[in-house]
Amino acid sequence: STNEGFAWKTISDSIEAASGRIDWTIPSERTTKARVRVTDITLASTSDTSDNAFTIVVPEITLTSPIGGETWKTNTVQQIKWNSLDVELVSVEYSSDGGTSWLPIKDSVLASTGVYNWTIPRTPTEQAKVRVSDVNYKEIASTSSLFTIIKPLVLLSPKGGEKWFSGSVQQIKWNYISVDSIKLEFSLNNGVSWQTIANSLPASLLTYDWNIPQNIASNQCKVKITDRNNFLTADSTVEVFTIMTPTLTVLTPNGEENFKGGTTYEITWKNENSDSLVIDYSIDNGATWTSIAKSTNAKAEKFTWVIPKVTSTQCRIRVIDKFYTTVGDTSDKAFSIYTPMITVITPKGGETWFVGETKQIKWKSSFVESVKIVLTTDDGNSWRTLTNSFAASDSIFSLFIEKTPSLDCRIKISAVEDSSVIDSSRSNFAIVVLPPTIYVSILQNPVLTQYCNVVLITDSLLSALPTTTVWRAGENEIPVYEMKPIPNSANAYECSIKFDTTAIYNIALHVISKMGIEKDTLRQFAVGVALPTLFAKVTSKNAGLTLTINPGVVEEKTFFSIEEENVNKEIVYNLQPAKTFKKAIGVELSFANETYQEVYKLSLFVFDNGEWKPVQSKVNKKNKTVTASLTTLGKVKLGIDANKKEELDLPQTFALIQNYPNPFNPSTIIAFHLPEDCDITVEIYNMLGAKITTLRSGFTAAGRYSVTWNGMNDAKVQVPSGIYLYRLKTNKFDQVRKMILLK
């Protein structure tokens, strides 16, 4: 009963009286008025009750801190708080794995204190719990929800197990929370004593490059990081790591050896504490290095090297730790590598060689005594031996090019003593047939103008006499002339051909060299015939030039010819016969306006004494022609006369202008105008009508002209003072004026 016996609750319905006892699980019902009663089942009046009331208590513990969700830092002191009732002693525990396992904080604490100051352990966790329980009754307990334990400083590297070299630079890494400044230390004896790395660093750096001191070694090393404002906030390497002093020593080659390029050699070294290394070689005494192996097992202490095909007396080997580049060694002295080598210089490819020439095959070599030289003309499918053995030191082999033309030629040169030492042209070159060079001159006979003398000169020996074939355009009859050697001349031949009528004549010359190489050349002439009493015109094949021969220009039947040729992108006309006529011949050339910016400067140029000279010319912009008068024929062309001034418009009428000055002594100028191209004469007479001299005659282009009379007759004798007549006569105009010579 919990109320002094007013009401009773059964503890047991039946139990043997002789046992005299029963184990009772006391109910969780707090009271100070508890009593127990024992009654005989068969005789209810037989019973007994507790003499006095006793008390039933219900122990109770309620954890108030932490309750869950807190974040506590390692190595800080935090208060665990609780409320309790009817509990005398409590134990305090914590879990880092959400309650799966528990570790003691304090085995026994007076429950009545309600608080315990806990130094947070160094192990961070997000699964932390705290439990407070009755020392005597473990089931009476209170447990927090999950909270977090964090480390303000966490050392990330080194973690332990590393192998670092003394003298190397290694990175220490950490994370932090709410820490301003840190101190870094290291230990060589598993934390028994510490040496300073850095006394004060901003925690925000997160990394520090530690230059490990030289010549220290230990396998019991640790690093510690400490909050400078709270020395309880610290972290260190969990497991020890190693600082060691590595050494690498090159054993071979170590200097003064001689090796042949292309062979193999075993590089050896002595190693202490290095796992992986890099091997390089130098051919310039260490100024530059070339990789042999980027990563190889240092503990093997040997490496098979395929010696490069180079030549140098300044070679060295070096080995370097792959991860610690300050650890390494180099050959003590230079050694030598000699490599037999051949390099083809000519032909290297892209050249053109001609049949019948002698060309030089050139190469450079080293450590080679004799060479074999072969030639392919089918891109390497087959090779023809030029020489089986030739002194390599000569470096030049002369080759006469036979008649084997090809675009797929290459030269290959190899060492007689070692055929693997070889080189060839970089790309194909060509062997082609070079036709003979010929020079042809075709000149009209200045007297017998119907005939032409053809002269051919060549630089090659011929297998037969050259031939000249002449035919007129549109005709089938083709006469062939066999040329004859010119006496006392080398490789020079000639023949004579004949013009029959006005036509375009084709003159073809054909030669065959001793090498069997043929060459042809073709010349074309526009030929016209002029008679003494008739007007005649001769026009070039492409109508670019026209000759106008007026009556009286020739004294007998005369053949005129025009040949066009392109010389340096200019059209040059060869006018024949190359002779001087008593009267001028009109020359008219056509032009295109768009070709010239200053059309008025266009002039006819004649080739005279090795140079081109302009002659007085008239430009007709409307007809796009340039006209001039020539008494001597030869080579002419159209060109720009930089000194020529722009002409006024052509005169509209014929006119003979009064001479100036008048009277005159010793000379005077006579001007006249021609509105069109025509034949003219300008003559001087005395008052008796006798002709004194002719100042100008022949074909003249339209324009304004002037001539000068110096007072002399045709015999070059000075005439006396007096009145004289001057006359301009054309086929459409005839006028006479007076002038006075006054001495």
Task: Answer whether 552's CB lies under 8 Å from 512's CB.
Answer: no
Q: d(Cα 408, Cα 377) in Å, to the nearest integer?
A: 5
Chain centroid offset of residue 227 CA = 57
Residue 125 token pair: 């966790």
| Exposure class string for 294-323: b at 16+ Cβ within 10 A, else e | eebebeebebebebbbebbeebbbbbbbbb
pLDDT at 593 over 70: no
Q: What is the pLDDT of residues 60-112, one digit of tens each?
A: 999 999 999 999 988 889 999 999 998 999 999 999 999 999 999 999 999 99
> 517 falls in which pLDDT band (50, 70, 90)?
confident
Q: d(Cα 679, Cα 698) in Å, to the nearest integer?
A: 5
Q: Name the nearest CA neighbour of 699 among 730, 653, 733.
A: 730
H or E stretch covering 376: strand 370-376
DSSP letter (8 states) at residue 394:
G
Percentage of residues in the chain having pLDDT higher than 70: 99
DSSP letter (8 states) at residue 450:
T
Q: What is the pLDDT of residues 155-182, one digit of tens each?
A: 999 999 998 988 889 999 999 988 999 9
pLDDT at 514 over 70: yes
Task: Give the pLDDT mean for 668-697.
Answer: 93
DSSP letter (8 states) at residue 648:
P
The one-letter amino acid at 704: R
Task: Answer whether 371's CB lies under 8 Å from 363's CB.
Answer: yes
Nearby residues of 710 by Cβ (< 8 Å), 6 or more positions away: 666, 667
| Exposure class string for 144-170: b at 16+ Cβ within 10 A, else e | bebbbbbbbbebeebebebebbbbbeb
Q: d(Cα 277, Cα 283) in Å, to the nearest integer?
A: 20
pLDDT at 647: 65
pLDDT at 285 over 90: yes
> 477 falls in which pLDDT band (50, 70, 90)?
low
pLDDT at 696: 92
Residue located via tokens 């093997």 = 300
Q: d(Cα 264, Cα 208) in Å, to the nearest integer?
A: 45
SS3 label, residue 112: helix
Which strands make up the sheet holding 358-366, listed edge to edge? 341-346, 358-366, 396-400
Chain centroid offset of residue 299 CA = 44
pLDDT at 623: 85
DSSP letter (8 states) at residue 298:
G
Domains parsed from the chain with CATH numbers: 1-58 (no CATH), 62-150 (2.60.40.10), 153-244 (2.60.40.2950), 247-338 (2.60.40.10), 341-432 (2.60.40.10), 438-527 (2.60.40.10), 531-640 (2.60.220.30), 655-741 (2.60.40.4070)
- Reduced to 3 DSSP states, what percent helix, strand and coil does the chain have, rounded to the nearest 5? 5, 55, 40
Q: d(Cα 635, Cα 593) in Å, to the nearest integer?
A: 23
Q: What is the pLDDT of residues 214-272, one digit of tens each?
A: 888 899 999 999 999 988 888 999 899 999 888 899 999 999 999 998 899 999 999 98
Q: What is the pLDDT of residues 130-147, one digit of tens each?
A: 999 999 989 999 999 999
| Total residue count of the chain as it appears in this document | 743
Nearby residues of 357 by Cβ (< 8 Å), 6 or more positions away: 400, 401, 434
β-strand 71-73 against 147-150: which pairing, if any?
A: parallel
Q: Name the nearest CA neighbour of 373 among 390, 349, 398.
A: 390
β-strand 429-432 against 352-354: which pairing, if any?
A: parallel
pLDDT at 30: 85
> 644 falls in which pLDDT band (50, 70, 90)?
confident
> 648 falls in which pLDDT band (50, 70, 90)?
low
Percentage of residues in the chain having pLDDT higher than 90: 72
pLDDT at 649 over 70: no
- Residue 112 has φ and ψ, to the nearest 5°, of -70, -20
Q: What is the pLDDT of residues 486-496, one digit of tens each?
A: 998 888 999 99
Q: Name the nearest CA neighbour of 375 among 342, 404, 351.
A: 404
For residue 573, count other CB atoms closer than 10 A to its CB. 22
Q: Name the nearest CA neighbour of 129 among 108, 100, 99, 109.
A: 99
Q: Indicate the average pLDDT of the chain.
A: 92
Nearby residues of 476 by Cβ (< 8 Å), 6 or more positions away: none
pLDDT at 389 over 70: yes
> 190 falls in which pLDDT band (50, 70, 90)?
very high
Chain centroid offset of residue 330 CA = 37
Instruction: For residue 208, give Cα distances in angstroms to 170, 177, 214, 221.
Output: 8, 17, 18, 17
pLDDT at 300 over 80: yes
Task: Answer whether 159's CB lies under 8 Å from 238's CB.
Answer: yes
- End-to-end alpha carbon distance in the chain: 185
Q: What is the pLDDT of residues 12-44, one digit of tens each?
A: 989 998 889 999 988 888 888 999 999 999 888
pLDDT at 149: 92
pLDDT at 529: 96
